[in-house]
Amino acid sequence: MGLVKKMNLANKITISRILATPVFLFFLIPGWFGQFFGLDQWGRYVAAVIFVVASVTDMVDGKIARKQNMVTELGKFLDPIADKLLVTSALIALIKTDNLSVWAVFIIIAREFIVTGFRIIAAGRGVVIAADKWGKIKTVVQIIAIVAILIRNFPISLVTDFPVGMVLMYIAVVLTIISGVNYIAKNVQVLN
C-alpha cells in the first residue's frame, strides 16, 4: 500500500487500467458465476464501457505525466504493459465469444511483440522510439473495432446485419501489418 501512496497521479491511472482488465474480462466472459447473476445479457455492454474508459485513460495518463512533468521510469515500464494487457485480453476473449479469427489476433499480437522487442533493444542503447502515425491510427481502429464487436454493432445492427466490427477488425489487421513494416523499416538500425 505504501508504494501506491508514493505513486504520482499518472502512474495511478496506469495501474487502474491494469486492474480494469480482469474486471473487463469478468463481464465479457462471466462463466458460471456471471450466468447465475444474468451477466450474459448486459455484461458485454458493461465490458464495452470498461474497455472504453480504460482506453481513454491511456491518453489521459500520458498527457498528465508530460504536462505536469511526472514522467517516471515506473510509468514508462507500466504504460505499455497496461495497453497490451487490455487489448490482447480483449482480442483473445473475442476469439471465444465472437469467433474472431485466430490469425487476425496472432498478427496483431505478433506485431506488438516485434515492436516491443525493438523498443527494448533501443532502450538498452539509450534511444527512445516514439509511436508513429500508423501505429496511432492502428490503435484507434483496433479500439473502435473491439468496441463495435463488444456491443454487437449496435445501433447499426438495428438497421442491417452488416458486420461493422469484424470489417473494422480486418482493417485494423491491415493497418497492423502496415504499421509493423513501417516501424521495422524506420528503426532497423537498432539491430546493428
**Count of C-beta atoms within a 10 Å radius of residue 11:** 23
Q: What is the pLDDT of residues 6-19, one digit of tens each?
A: 677 777 888 888 99
Residue 77, pLDDT score: 74
131: left (phi over 0), alpha (psi -120 to 50) or beta: beta
- What 3-state class would DSSP assign to 169? helix
Residue 26, pLDDT score: 87
What residue spans define the domains of the chain? Answer: 1-79, 100-192
Q: What is the pLDDT of residues 61-73, one digit of tens each?
A: 767 767 777 666 6
CA dist 91 and 103 (Å) reads: 11
* One-character DSSP codes across 23-90: HHHHHHS-HHHHHHTTHHHHHHHHHHHHHHHHHHHHHHHHHHHHHTT---HHHHHHHHHHHHHHHHHH
Residue 35, pLDDT score: 57
Output Rg (C-alpha) for the chain, integer angstroms.
Answer: 18
pTM of the model: 0.86
Residue 109, pLDDT score: 95
C-alpha cell at 80: 505499455
C-alpha cell at 26: 469478468
In the chain, which stretches have pLDDT less than 50? 1
C-alpha cell at 187: 528503426
